[in-house]
Structure 1
Amino acid sequence: MLAVIWLSWKVKKSRNINATPPPGPCGLPLVGYLPFLGTHLHRKFTELGEVYGPIYKLWLGNKLCVVVSSPSLAKEVVRDNDTVFANRDTSIAARVITHDANDIGWCPYGAKWRKLRKIFVGKMMSNASLDACYTLRKREIKNTIRDVYSNRIGKAVDIGELSTATSINVVQNMLWGASFELGQKGTNLGVDLRKMLAELMVLLGTPNLSDIFPVLSWLDIQGIERKTKHILAWFEKILYSAIEQRTNAVNDEQQDFLQFLLELKGT
């Protein structure tokens, strides 16, 4: 039985390869190289790059993965031929946090992605938008300095936490024209946001058995889907609150990014 499964897996793998693949380590039937990766992927990939060169392949389950580990190849992938490599397999964690890949980071390249990019660059990151927020950024930095000077003399100051709170204020003002106080309330939100973002980055980067073996996805063995849904609910609570306040506002003439999205949704 195992021999039949192994043979069918090899046949399927050979049919999926349309060109000569790069060299790479041998794996085991069904699981590929997965048992040998370990927990420090960057170190393992570096070791394999020293053996097989700047580009090599390895099988994770029934998925063929190609690793590039040189600046010139990375430049060719992400810049010179970016549209060719734009589409990728979306992990379960990414699908959860982006509502089934409906964002600019994970949406497949095409008309929808170009529209999202046009909105993001034109309305959020254009030179005109950034120049218009110069006074806002300057004011928030002054508020941070004033808060430290007035309330935190003689106390330990977490610079990372403080800078995160300041950045949140700036981004919130750009998005929906509101910010939180830099006192205890603001600090707690900054701490929670840093914690949630750090946890989200770990979940997005953690190899998930449910991605490698989709038949096991309903089990959520590592709990990645459950944890990502918890983070999504936390983010949505903040966003929905801002949307509700804006839609319930009377004679609100703010023309920030949120107002633009609401008007776009209504057209």
Structure 2
Amino acid sequence: MEQIEIYLISLIITTILFIFLLNLIFKRNLNQNLPPSPPSLPILGHLHLLKKPLHRTLHHLSQTYGPVYLLRFGSRLALVVSSPSLAEECFIKNDVVFANRPRLMSGKHLSYNYNTVGASSYGHLWRNLRRVATVELLSATKLNMFLDIRQDEVKSMVKNLFMESKSKQGFTRVEMQSRCSELSFNIIMRMVAGNRYFGHKSNAIEEAERFRTIIREIFELAGASPEDFIPILRWIDYKNIEKRMLAVRDKVDVFMQRLIEEHRHHGGDEIRSKTMVDGMLSLQDIDPQYNSDEIIKGMIMTMLSAGTDTSSVTIEWAMSLILNNPEVLKKAASEINDCVGQDRLVNETDLSKLPYIQSIANETLRLFPAAPLLLPHENSEACTIGGYDVPRGTILFVNAWAIHRDSSIWEEPTKFKPERFSHGGEECEGFKWIPYGMGRRKCPGGGLANKVVCLALAALVQCFEWERVSVELVDMLEGSGLTMPKAVPLEAMCKAREEMVDVLKQL
């Protein structure tokens, strides 16, 4: 009983001190020309306003408070930007200032104590991680080394669809979400470690399912939690979030360390010697200080978490869009037929001759960017955005989803029109199309994602006829999650194109 009383007294004192600290902070800010802000509550600030999906909630607030406004999440400030000019001001004029990431509990526990390219603060460590990611792992030369893997996995997906559909007459109902997920997961895992986890060639299905469950847990726990903004909640581990993060971290670490040890002891294996893990182990031999096992595990974690769901959800959204727009599907099939033909499966080297497929991918990313709010930034010093003062340590959210649907920038912004990207990439320039972010912390995996998405779309369109499961349009509501999944997983009717049957039989 005495312990409970002491705990309650401590809680009350801490709450009073917390409120006092907030008052000091915001009295200091009264003398500044801060951006507009909605009315807030004591302690919570604006946390009570946040509803899912978050990008829609923040867009709704921008309709009242403008393209730049300030929110208070507990003890921390957040700036929300939703116009190209302001995004440019953040990522060009103030690129270095906003090059930091906010320190969140998920970054500590799920990103190896902020030692990943996505979570680390701007500085020497980040520059080294960025160099490894862009030069050693994701450069054009390195991606070309893995071309056969991407083509083999797309061929495998197409073959499985064909085998499933040929046993039935007419169209076959297929579920696409798991197929897209398995495709991207196999590609990344084979590039990273040489292992194929799903499909008829896999011998590690149980391990794969176990790790995919871990990845799912990471996505559920990643990002900000209430404890990041109201520190007192961390003392009582609100909803066991920190405990869950620690449990997931331990499971991930065991999996990653096993991968590293496996490659460390079988470095001469011909198949595995070309993987990303082996490349990073080679760097470790040269400079062990900056390429420790922890750094390698963090890089693997980044590749698996950032490189799987992002591509798979984009393919699923793209297929949903073309099913709702049959004229687009017809035009895409015609382009592939004219440029590739019907006597072989489309391959990655054909993509440069398929601008309409690229336009479909770009338009999909415009309407349904995999990171609708990009990754959050934080300013290392006070700055000015849109004529307003932004205090040091403010978290920055750039609402790419809102920018991509701004009627002052885009004609018929909610309509699916791949043709708007058919003018030599002009629509991709500037800050009105930013699915991968901008500035020095732009996503380094955009090139890989584009190759996977475009090749998968081209193969699915080339090999099969597609229809909706009913006369009703495919549901296009967004679900909750960091990568904006569909609320209702895509199901579709597919049938092998008669002119492609002989090619499919030979796969």
Q: Quick check: TM above 0.5?
A: yes
Question: Corresponding residue for 2:85?
Answer: 72
Cα deviation code 1:132-151 (max 9, x no counterpart): 22122212222333344446
Question: Corresponding residue for 1:44?
Answer: 57
Q: How many residues align?
A: 266
Q: Which has the higher contact order (CA 8 A, sep 6+)?
A: 2
Q: In 2, Cα distance between the equivalents of 1:163 and 1:263?
A: 32
Q: In 2, Cα distance between the equivalents of 1:91 and 1:104?
A: 15
Match of 2:70 among 45, 51, 57: 57
Match of 2:218 among 200, 223, 247: 200
Q: What's the secondary structure of 1:85's corresponding residue?
A: coil
Match of 1:228 among 221, 224, 245: 245
Matched, 1:15 2:58: no
Match of 2:45 among 32, 44, 50: 32
Q: What's the secondary structure of 1:118's corresponding residue?
A: helix
The range that moved more, 149-158 or 122-131, is 149-158
AA of the residue aligned to 1:109: Y
Note closer, same or farther for the CA distance 1:59–1:260 as it changes in structure 2 (3 Å cut).
same
Q: In 2, Cα distance between the equivalents of 1:7 and 1:214?
A: 14
Match of 2:282 among 259, 263, 266: 263
Q: In 1, Cα distance between the equivalents of 2:187 and 2:37?
A: 46
Match of 1:127 among 133, 137, 140: 140
Question: Corresponding residue for 1:112?
Answer: 125
AA of the residue aligned to 2:122: Y
Q: What's the secondary structure of 1:223's corresponding residue?
A: helix
Q: In 2, Cα distance between the equivalents of 1:198 and 1:77?
A: 31
Q: Is the 8 A contact 2:192 2:275 kept in 1?
A: yes
**If the length of structure 1 is used for normalisation, what is the TM-score?**
0.82
Q: Give the Å deviation of 1:87.
A: 0.9
AA of the residue aligned to 2:275: D
Task: Structure 2: give runs of 5+ residues left out of the alignment.
Answer: 1-12, 287-507
Q: What's the secondary structure of 2:238's corresponding residue?
A: coil
Q: What's the secondary structure of 1:210's corresponding residue?
A: helix
Q: Give the Å deviation of 1:162.
A: 1.9
**If the length of structure 2 is used for normalisation, what is the TM-score?**
0.46
Note closer, same or farther for the CA distance 1:17–1:98 as it changes in structure 2 (3 Å cut).
farther
Structure with bigger helix share is 1
Task: Structure 1: give runs of 5+ residues left out of the alignment.
Answer: none
Q: Give the Å deviation of 1:92.
A: 0.8
Q: Give the Å deviation of 1:55.
A: 0.9
Cα deviation code 1:90-113 (max 9, x no counterpart): 211222110111000011111111
Q: What's the secondary structure of 1:222's corresponding residue?
A: helix
Matched, 1:160 2:173: no
Cα deviation code 1:145-195 (max 9, x no counterpart): 334444674586432212322222222222122323513866666666555
Calculate percent identity across the aligned residue pairs: 27
Alignment map for 1:179-218 (pairs within 5 Å)? 179-183=196-200, 196-205=214-223, 207-218=224-235
AA of the residue aligned to 1:176: A
The range that moved more, 116-125 or 186-195, is 186-195
Cα deviation code 1:211-237 (max 9, x no counterpart): 112233132202222333343344334
Q: In 2, Cα distance between the equivalents of 1:174 and 1:92?
A: 29
Q: In 2, Cα distance between the equivalents of 1:266 and 1:69?
A: 45
Q: In 2, Cα distance between the equivalents of 1:157 and 1:182?
A: 16
Question: Corresponding residue for 1:169?
Answer: 186
